[in-house]
Amino acid sequence: MPGAMEDIMSEKEAEESHRQDSANLLLFILLLTLTILSIWLFKHRRFRFLHESGLAMVYGLLAGVVLRYGIHVPTDVNNVTLSCELEDSPATLLINVSGKFYEYTMRSEISPKDINNVHDNEMLQKVTFDPEVFFNILLPPIIFYAGYSLKRRHFFRNLGSILAYAFIGTVISCIVIGLIMYGCVKLMALIGQLNGDFYFTDCLLFGAFISATDPVTVLAIFNELQADVDLYALLFGESVLNDAVAIVLSSSIVAYQPVGVGSHNFDVSAMFKSFGLFLGIFSGSFALGSATGVVTALVTKFTKLRDFQLLETALFFLMSWSTFLLAEACGFTGVVAVLFCGITQAHYTYNNLSPESRIRTKQLFELLNFLAENFIFSYMGLTLFTFESHAFNPTFIVAAFLAVFLGRAANIYPLSFLLNLGRRKKIGSNLQHMMMFAGLRGAMAFALAIRDTATYARQMMFSTTLLIVFFTVWVFGGGTTQMLSWLQIRVGVDPDQEHSANLDHSQQDGSEGDQRNTKAESAWLFRLWYTFDHNYLKPILTHSGPPLTTTLPGWCGPIARFLTSPLAYQNQEQLKDDDSDLILNDGDISLTYGDSSLTTTSDRRNLIQNLEDAQEQELASGEHELVIRGTRLVLPVENTEPAFDLKLPESPGPQLM
């Protein structure tokens, strides 16, 4: 029975394909396992020159070499070339084979030179994932975790600068790189090195890709060494937001469709359309992400799910995942939505979760982030050898490195200068140099570049992006520790001590001084937001006070009563939350101070020995005493600077948003 034989044949092929897929995934799991064991080994021996991302890339590279040159698997000839004349390349085909009908779907376009290579390509092709896997499966957990684990206090304190670097800086970088690359490409065309079309929009697109920084390596080291908290906040905040900006920017550039024959000519209306698209996608994703966070906050506030941690954690996970799907289904960008969802969840929903669910959700996303990130970096290493259409061009590569360097400089230095005109706590030049240095490229740049490698231009951009990522992660990532000491950036900084030290200066004005100082410190816009958030948003979405029945006008009475949690009457002040102690309350300064001192017991690890004993005594005896004293004490610890061989940065003044 021929039909049955065909059934068996196609079942066999399906099974063969399934076994191949399993084997591919197994390869990655092996790489990840090796990475984990090596990370442990490095941590064990305090080896800081190769961070986990760089390590994962190395293993990916090695696997790529083996796959490319070591393994040759003869593949079955099971392709058939039909030549049928068609007008169009449809998405689905119905083929009539001896009376049976089969449905075929389009997989990809094959360039003519590859037709005869289809068989040999199979092995390597199979280890290559559809680029959308990155945007649909791997990047969302990474970006969500970045938003969910944001250190909000320092983030909001530096919000203005972060927004400047992330938006304006990324656009500057994109344009600068685009211009330089365009010049390079023109040069290449002149000397005959260009083998295909390369338009200005392609150069701009490259600029957009490669402006997405990913200093995960640097930040990990900053975290371990407890480096300057503002620097950490600036770098982290910038990288998290400029990923979002880079995605939407590249979508907008790709969508640039000018009217007229020359599809890459300059067309003002098309440019404005792209700009509008950028705004629309960004705001839409922001709105959706925040909305889901708000809904989750309300659900966790008004139900007693906290009694059932499994249900609570599952709900949290599902709603965060739904943000991504909702944004994608509506045509926005899921990754951007997921970022703002993470920030909103951390700001509101987190307070409503039971203590165990807080831990569970953090651990869950921490695990997902870890696996996804190392997977991407392994894949990057692998791709160097498994990607079929690399286009390496020395001129382009050299120009790209130069452009990236100059683009970063054009981003950091001018903006820092402008920001310093307004900031109280200036961004010192050594911090600026560090920010230059820490402009590593990583997962986002790679994912954007690999998304579409159909044309010659895109292939060259992808190959070059790979090299830039390798170089920055290995060289700059590895050199972070040296750079920190060379630039004399302080380490071993206690974040809360920092906070208190700044306040100490302001306390000398007297008890009203902090309020006045706070108001003076903060930009008007931020103060507005903070008041709104403190008095309305937090009481609506969480159990914190002040109760809405007191803050809302009389006619809102019934709604206010409905929305006000019983706990809000007890929590007259905002719930104490490490990361959101933005501004001191008018209440007991020493109590707050006492709280923050106590919470930093674990942060004191890196302070020098001769301080520690004093601190231990202080803390051991000090807890009750601080509460009782009720005066604004200055504990000895904050006047002593760690006696490193690192010099202090410029004198820190009070913070200005």
Task: Quote the least distance from Cβ 309 to its own copies, whole Å.
Answer: 8
Nearest to 610 by CA among 585, 565, 644: 644
Report d(CA 468, CA 654) in Å as an integer: 38
Q: Is 318 in the site for its own copies (CB under 8 A)?
A: yes
Q: 49, 66, 73, 102: which one contacts its own copies (CB under 8 A)?
A: 102
Mark 2-21 with x for binding to its own copies (rule: CB under 8 A) and - for no binding: --x-xx--x--x----xx--
CA-based radius of gyration for the chain: 28
> Residues 123 to 142: which contact its own copies by CB under 8 A?
132, 136
CA distance 294 to 515: 30
Q: Which residue of 47, 66, 73, 104 would you call a contact of its own copies, by CB under 8 A?
A: 104
Query: Is the CB of 306 or the CB of 527 nearer to its own copies?
Result: 306
Residues 289-308 that bind its own copies (CB under 8 A): 299, 303-305, 308
Among 46, 69, 105, 554, binds its own copies (CB under 8 A): 105
Residue closer to its own copies, measured from CB, 185 or 326: 326
Of the two residues 308 and 413, which places its CB atom closer to its own copies in the complex? 308
- Per-residue DSSP letters for 314-344? HHHHHHHHHHHHHHHHTTS-HHHHHHHHHHH
Size of the site for its own copies (CB under 8 A): 92
Taking the least distance from each CB to its own copies, the nearer of 85 and 645 is 85
For its own copies, the closer of residues 100 and 605 by Cβ is 100
Q: How far is the CB of 344 from its own copies (least distance, A)?
A: 17
Q: Do 563 and 546 contact (CB within 8 A), yes or no?
A: no
Residue closer to its own copies by CB (options 448, 560) is 448
With CB under 8 A as the contact rule, the residue among 71, 91, 191, 421 that binds its own copies is 91
State in Å, rounded, how far the first CA of the chain is from the last one: 78
Within 341-380, which residues bind its own copies (CB under 8 A)?
Answer: 360, 363-364, 366-367, 370-371
Largest Cα span, the chain: 96
Residue of 92, 602, 609, 651 interacting with its own copies (CB under 8 A):
92
Mapped onto helix, strand or coil, the DSSP state of residue 93 is strand
Which residues 572-591 are close enough to bind its own copies by CB under 8 A? Answer: none
Q: Would you state the structure tokens that stand for residue 110, as one six-digit string?
A: 């094959």
- Among left, alpha and beta (phi > 0; psi -120 to 50; other), residue 51 is beta
- The set of residues, in sequence order, having a beta carbon less than 8 Å from that of 19 and lying 6+ positions away, is none
Task: Give the C-alpha separation, 579 to 341, whole Å.
Answer: 17
Tokens at 422, concatenated = 């307004």
Q: Which of 86, 421, 620, 643 is in the footprint of its own copies by CB under 8 A? A: 86
For residue 562, the minimal CB distance to its own copies (Å) is 19
How does DSSP assign 534-602, residue by residue? Answer: IIIIHHHHSS-SS-HHHHS-GGGHHHHHHHS-HHHHH--SPPP-GGG--S--SS-HHHHHHHHHHHTGG
Task: Please select the residue that binds its own copies; options are 75, 128, 149, 322, rule is CB under 8 A.
Answer: 322
Span interacting with its own copies, options 234-242, 317-325, 478-486, 538-546, rule CB under 8 A: 317-325
Shortest separation between residue 114's beta carbon and its own copies, angstroms: 9
Using rule CB under 8 A, residue 259 touches its own copies: no
Site for its own copies in 18-77 (CB under 8 A): 18-19, 22-23, 25-26, 29-30, 32-33, 36-37, 39-40, 43-44
Q: Which of residues 369-428 bind its own copies (CB under 8 A)?
A: 370-371
* Residues 31 and 56 sit within 8 Å (Cβ to Cβ): yes
Dihedral sign of CA atoms 588, 590, 596, 601 in order: negative
User: Can you read off the two tokens belonging to residue 496?
Assistant: 């809360």
Cα(59)–Cα(556) distance, integer angstroms: 61
Q: Per CB under 8 A, does 536 bind its own copies?
A: no
